[in-house]
């Protein structure tokens, strides 16, 4: 298999796969040609476009799209928490809840867990002056967090990037037990976060709409958790109570429709990310992990 920006490795089988949704057609044109980039920056990345997309797929007449989508994407219906015919729209199916018994939580208190099902990139130590390009997207810590003084707390710490596709479980959970602060929304655009851009590095993570939650975890310091909105993702919903203690794996919120992204930033000398994840990342390959699966250990 040729290496693709959409290639990922299944963690438990070691198989290299390519996502069923890949850079082709319209979005490839949008992110790799000058006219397409102009259209994207001036029009397609604005909220009302993603909002209109979400409005359409919340209509009841989109229910007929669910079964063909399930078949095309190979979605396992046995883990969905209610019958497929009970979903009122395509958007509601994309935001489906699952039987969390299918996502067992690693209860070892020394283990950090993945907050989502997604394709993971692991960076064990990122310094302030280090340029970090994630699948063609430039990750600028100060801009991502919206506060330069906050970003300095994470200089030299680990960074984990988790990318969700349209067919993935769209809910996110807490990676450890602890106390979350008030979530802080940072307005922005709605660029695609999948690696469509092959010609230019783009600072989309820092320009997109995003929600930052500082999380005083019990075993991994204060983690900065950033949920990034993206093209066709009109909303990032939160479901927790700030300042109230949460358990490891407890529900935090969900994305509406579309593919999106979660970034976790760690203070230095706090966590050792698993070797296989770091090795795959160094080779330019994402690793698919499940919510609740261990991805690192405290130091």
- pLDDT tens across 121-175, in order? 999 998 876 767 776 677 788 888 988 889 899 999 999 999 888 889 999 999 9
pLDDT for residue 2: 46
pLDDT for residue 241: 97
What tokens appear for 85 in the block?
A: 């015919």
The Cα 293–Cα 116 span in angstroms is 9
The Cα 155–Cα 128 span in angstroms is 5
pLDDT for residue 198: 64
* pTM confidence score: 0.90
The DSSP secondary structure of 247-298, one letter per residue, reads -TT-EEEEE-SS-EEEEEE--TTSEEE-HHHHHHHHTT-EEEE-TT-EEEEE
pLDDT < 70 regions, the chain = 1-5, 19-26, 44, 129, 131, 135-136, 193-205, 232-234, 259
Task: Tell whether 156 is covered by a domain.
Answer: yes
Judge if 140 and 197 occupy the same domain. Answer: yes
pLDDT for residue 70: 93
Judge if 142 and 55 occupy the same domain. Answer: no
State which of 76, 94, 112 marks the end of a domain: 94
pLDDT for residue 215: 98
Nearest-CA neighbor of 227 among 235, 287, 219? 235
Give residue for tokens 């994840």.
277
Task: Tell whether 114 is covered by a domain.
Answer: yes
Judge if 42 and 112 occupy the same domain. Answer: no
Judge if 246 and 286 occupy the same domain. Answer: yes
User: Which amino acids are annotated catalytic?
Assistant: 117, 173, 260
State which of 94, 118, 148 marks the end of a domain: 94
Task: Tell whether 75 is covered by a domain.
Answer: yes
pLDDT for residue 5: 67
3-state helix, strand, coil in the chain (%, to 5): 25, 30, 45
Judge if 125 and 85 occupy the same domain. Answer: no
How crowded is the C-beta side of 286, counted as CA atoms within 13 Å? 25
| C-alpha torsion 253→255→261→266, nearest 10 | -10
State which of 44, 71, 94 marks the end of a domain: 94
Judge if 172 and 50 occupy the same domain. Answer: no
pLDDT for residue 93: 94
Judge if 206 and 287 occupy the same domain. Answer: yes
- Which residues span the domain enclosing 67? 22-94
pLDDT for residue 1: 43
Give the DSSP H/E element, type plus range, for residue 226.
strand 222-228
Tens digit of pLDDT for each residue in 66-77? Answer: 999 999 888 999
Q: Is 228 helix (H, G, I), strand (E, B) or coil?
A: strand
pLDDT for residue 16: 81
Q: Kindly give, in sequence order, each residue whose CB lies less than 8 Å from that of residue 263, ignoring residues fewer than 6 positions away.
A: 139, 144, 159, 160, 161, 162, 205, 224, 225, 226, 228
Chain-centroid distance, C-alpha 190: 14
Judge if 290 and 158 occupy the same domain. Answer: yes
Judge if 36 and 115 occupy the same domain. Answer: no
Say if CB 263 and CB 226 are below 8 A apart: yes
């Amino acid at each position: 298999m040729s290496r693709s920006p959409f290639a990922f490795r299944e963690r438990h089988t070691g198989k290299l796969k390519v996502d069923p949704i890949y850079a082709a057609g319209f979005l490839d044109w949008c992110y790799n040609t000058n006219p397409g980039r102009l259209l994207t920056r001036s029009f397609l990345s604005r909220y009302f476009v993603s909002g209109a997309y979400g409005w359409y797929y919340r209509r009841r007449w989109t229910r007929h799209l669910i079964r063909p989508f399930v078949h095309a994407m190979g979605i396992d219906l046995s883990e969905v928490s209610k019958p497929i015919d009970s979903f009122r729209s395509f958007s509601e199916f994309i935001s489906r809840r699952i039987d969390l018994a299918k996502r067992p939580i690693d209860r070892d208190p020394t283990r950090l867990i993945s907050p989502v099902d997604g394709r993971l990139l692991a960076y064990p130590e990122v310094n302030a002056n280090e340029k970090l390009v994630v699948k063609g997207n430039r990750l600028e810590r100060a801009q991502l967090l919206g506060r330069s003084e906050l970003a300095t707390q994470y200089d030299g710490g680990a960074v984990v990037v988790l990318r969700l596709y349209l067919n993935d479980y769209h809910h996110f959970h807490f990676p450890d037990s602890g106390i979350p602060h008030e979530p802080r929304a940072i307005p922005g655009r709605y660029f695609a976060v999948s690696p469509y851009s092959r010609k230019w590095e783009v600072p989309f993570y820092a320009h997109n709409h995003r929600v930052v939650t500082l999380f005083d975890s019990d075993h991994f310091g204060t983690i900065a958790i950033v949920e990034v909105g993206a093209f066709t993702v009109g909303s990032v919903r939160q479901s927790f109570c700030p300042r109230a203690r949460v358990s490891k794996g407890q529900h935090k919120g969900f994305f509406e429709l579309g593919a999106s992204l979660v970034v976790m930033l760690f203070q230095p000398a706090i966590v050792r990310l698993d070797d296989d994840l770091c090795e795959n990342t160094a080779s330019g390959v994402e690793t698919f992990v499940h919510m609740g699966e261990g991805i690192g250990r405290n130091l």
